[in-house]
Chains A and B, each alone.
Chain A
Amino acid sequence: MFESLPVLGAGLGYQPELHEDIVAARDKIDFLEIPTDTFLRNLPDWSERLLELRANFTNVAHGVYMSLGDASGPHLDYLERLAPYLHSLEPIWFSDHLDMGNLPSDAKGRYFHGVQVPFTRGQAAVFQQNMQVMRERVGLPLLVENLFYELVIPMPGSLSEPVFIREVLDGTDVGLLLDVENLYLNSLNFHFDPYQWLSEAPLERTVEIHVAGGEQRSAGPDAGKWSDTHSQPVPDEVWRLVEYVVARASVKAILVERDQSYPPMEELLAELDIARRVLGGAASIPTTLNSTVREPSIPIGTERR
């Protein structure tokens, strides 16, 4: 289904604060993931910026407000603004999250995203209906991303998350954007084996992988819990999980996400080098400084499909 999509390599998420550095490093960044909603919010003021990025980078589009899991139906008002934007950007694919946007329509409700959904077959059917509308109207390949979550909704008849994701994707032409950092942090917070999770997930649908580094909360009622802050180097454990996935799926792209606490550009580019090597099937991964020792319970495979 996604065989015809090109292998994009190792990419970086666009951050306005890093604009000059990113453009200057265009020869070392295989592709750029452009944040849909940042640009929708800033256009037309950022028209020239958008043209500059489109001219200098192979790009994909990533959003947060598509609300694909909303049982009240697809967000057509959002789609009306999204479709022409994507047609002008011409990304290789566009993506959003497996969340819902059934929220109060006040300013806070409109701001929030990433709300967990129950992992039920009824919820999966809602995703399929909404994804089909978005996919048909936009006319580009669509990927959906697994969430970092702080809450599991214990609905009767719930599936495991990876089985739920398979249920969402089965029978559709939508691909998986596998956020390995989200999986890793969820496994720490909810005490499950990420390799078991991967063994149940539809890895064959993986098109793009996200990696990042989170932080452990040190105070407050959630002390000890991990947050998906995108503020740290990618931990070794995440790279090992990525290696596991790449050995089992025709992954087209690995994206490094860094949204705050920016290091020197050289450090981000060094992470892209690691991503590129992993995507190329390199067996050993350099050790980073941000690692806790945690051996995988399932051996990492080396056979790449």
Chain B
Amino acid sequence: MLDYITSYFRSTVTPGQANNQFWALVYILIVFGGVSMIVMIMNWAERKALAHMQVRLGPMRVGPHGLLQPIADALKLFTKEDIMPAEADKPIFWFAPVWVVVVAFTGFIVVPFGVAHAVTDMNIGLLFMLGVSSLGVLGIVMAGWASNSHFPLMGSLRSSAQMVSYEIAMGLAVVSAVLMTGFLGTGMYGIGEGTASGTLSMIGIVQAQQAQHVWFVFKFFPVGLVAFVIFAIAMVAETNRTPFDLPEAESELVAGFHTEYSGLRWSLFMLGEYAAMVAVSSIAITLWLGGWMRPFASIHGPSIAIPFFWEHPELGIVDLVSYLVPAGVLFLLAFFCFFNALRMPKHPAMRPQVIGLWALGVVMGGIGLVLLAPPVRDRIQDIFWFVAKIAVFLYLYIWYRATFPRYRFDQLMRVGWKVLLPVGLGVLLLTGLIGLSPELVMWIKGVMLWR
């Protein structure tokens, strides 16, 4: 048994590939806890960032700068009365939020936080991820139907139409990226160095970007960029966020599909929605933004050796700097904590908050110190850069929410079918044409000679 558990330590692949169920379970728990953590932080960050964009303060009372607000919210939601409308279709009403959460978290099985940091890797990982993430709409339709009420019904109908429409544009953009994994040349226009069969494995796609020394968002510039933008728009629509938040359009449909939900059930919907946001962001990151790779991953700089601290002769000074970034970020957060603790009002009533902020700073700094330790430092890289990219995407979600009005239903459909779909087809065609251009040139030459 112990051997079975320890045998994975020497492995450089995911526990699923190593066929180690124990570590797979551990990884599942870590991913579940981590994503829930991200959702909680996102909850706080969204309220704060949105508030500051809207000349408000946001939560300020529960903990320093409202840091404990998500916990207070969760407690409130757990203790609320569980209301189920008398006319509701009870089993489906009960099942819908559970379905949304389960589906949103299932996709994370194949999300590669690092080359070995995923639950498992499948040869159809991307397909699995897309398939699972599009199942979420089923929960929304169930919720709308089971509520037996007009507003939720309209919300869920809108949602299903929206998801189906945007799934197609999304799929075309994704195929373009998958196609790129098959063109073996390096650099932005690396063509003519042969082709291979592409891969649908999430880890394989990142490794292809690693091998080609280019993030696919820059490959065949601007083709990859356009595909990425299509995906970035479609993924906002997929997760029902502003400006595509029609299924829960507050000013029109009261609360859309979750009008009749409250308390814990409602919070499950929110958890599912935010987890889905993280999931689609990770697809975008894996496909176009180099997954776990740091920026400029192929630049190493002159190699350097520091005894007891840096014993990677094959890595350069740029790598050293990049390896220190995670700790640096945490030190920066700690600094913010200390700085703001000093800026807090000197009133005795504020003392618990000031102490809390100091404590948080100490914790942050402590984690930063741990991250400096070479064994941790060398293993945390992938995860750090992946999560940092997720954070950027989540911030974009908040930014959209503060900026855009909401589309109308027919306009939403028009954007999906008349803009994104043709552009996606064009991008797909261009990807293939550029990638195969040497062969095409040879083929045309051949035809000319033959004539």
Are these two chains actual partners, yes or no? no
